[in-house]
Amino acid sequence: MAVVRLEVSDGVGTIRLDRPPMNALNAALAAELRAAALEATARADVRAVVIYGGEKVFAAGADIKEMAGLDVAGITGWVRDLAAAFDLVARIPKPVVAAVTGYALGGGLELALCADFRVFAENAKVGLPEITLGVIPGAGGTQRLPRLVGPARAKDLVFSGRQVRAAEAEAIGLADKVVPADEVYAEALRMAGRFVTGPALALAAAKQAIDDGGDLALSEALRLESALFIGLFGTEDRRHGMDSFIERGPGKADFVGR
């Protein structure tokens, strides 16, 4: 039985984790997550993505029972595959929203960090508890978290391994919105749905410019931005957008995703 599936409706693809009871991340889930991310990337009918673990929990971390029995060689392949799956999620060239209910710990929080936006349930508890196991986050936590909340706050969470409730997560910029638990998925769909009728290629270029540009020197990042901007002049959406602006005013273009 699949533990990750892609469900598509009205232009939004939901990557649904379904490994009861806590969506613990193991090798099988990583492989299926990789496949779902590739499918969401490739499908033209998917214009935005929601990552969702269900009504009760997002993902409570790695499967420690599977991990504990591995030696150095085994864990090397294990974490490489998980990090590669997460990187594919982060590089989906479409807006991605994480719908976080209940616990998002360790690898679960690292997966949520791969999204562009995060909606938290009021009862959400998140954190990176790896330090309490004698290790550190290994699938992006020490890198994506400080880029989002700053190095000092990231060190506080990583060094202590403590859990953060939704209100604090919102205050430090880890959560973009906090809503009642029974509204999380609907709010994530609403956020993702804002982009469904947008210019798909321009949205992909904007995401690439922001994500990749942040790792470059400013001069190189500006060159990347210019190259992506120029490339969009060969798209149908650019023509539709500018023609519509001239003829009907701003914000009225009908984009086709090409």
Instruction: Kindly list the catalytic residues.
Output: 62, 107, 110, 130
Neighbouring residues of 226: CB distance < 8 A, sequence distance ≥ 6: none
* DSSP secondary structure code for residue 140 in this structure: S
Neighbouring residues of 105: CB distance < 8 A, sequence distance ≥ 6: 59, 60, 61, 125, 126, 127, 128, 129, 163
Q: What is the DSSP string of 89-138?
A: HHT-SS-EEEEE-SEEETHHHHHHTTSSEEEEETT-EEE-GGGGGTS---
* Orientation angle between helical segments 27-42 and 72-90, nearest 10 degrees: 20
Paired sense of beta strands 96-100 and 117-121, if any? parallel
